[in-house]
Amino acid sequence: MACFLVPMTIGIILTILEKMTGHRLLERLRVDILNALLLGGSAILGFEHLWHGEVVPWPPFLTAMTNPTEIPVMLHEMMTVGLALTATTTALWLSIIMLINIKTKIHITGILNNRDKRVSISP
């Protein structure tokens, strides 16, 4: 119903923070990757909800909002499925960041080792 709204909201908040602060820490943590994962996944899931008729292009936009008895079900889905999607996406982002850091350390170590192994040829 509306599970895609949770990661989309987090992605929008992170994008606003990134644009407003321009903080070096956000660049170092590669928040842009997290934003791409959150907003891209939300867009795809939103399209899927639109395809199945759960989201409509007229107010109230979410079909669950038309019937007041379905609103608690929608909120429960947002809190369970939406938060699970966001947590899984964040875990994926953390593993990507760890792999980037490991690869960078291996690359730097390889460069340093090759520099130390240079042999000077004397005439």
pLDDT tens for 54-67 read: 888 888 888 888 88
pLDDT tens for 19-65 read: 888 777 777 788 999 999 999 999 999 999 999 988 888 888 888 88
Q: How many CB atoms are located within 10 Å of the residue 3 CB?
A: 23
Q: At what angle do helices 5-21 and 31-51 cross, to 10 degrees?
A: 150
- Report the C-alpha gap between 16 and 11 in whole angstroms: 9
Q: With a cut of 60, say whether residue 116 has pLDDT above it.
A: no
Q: What does the block give as tokens for 45?
A: 């899931």
Q: What percent of the chain has pLDDT over 70?
A: 89
Q: How many CB atoms are located within 10 Å of the residue 32 CB?
A: 13
- Report the C-alpha gap between 95 and 80 in whole angstroms: 22
pLDDT, residue 17, reads 87
Which residue would you say has higher pLDDT here, 118 or 102? Answer: 102
pLDDT, residue 117, reads 58
Look up the pTM and report it: 0.79
- Report the C-alpha gap between 54 and 7 in whole angstroms: 17
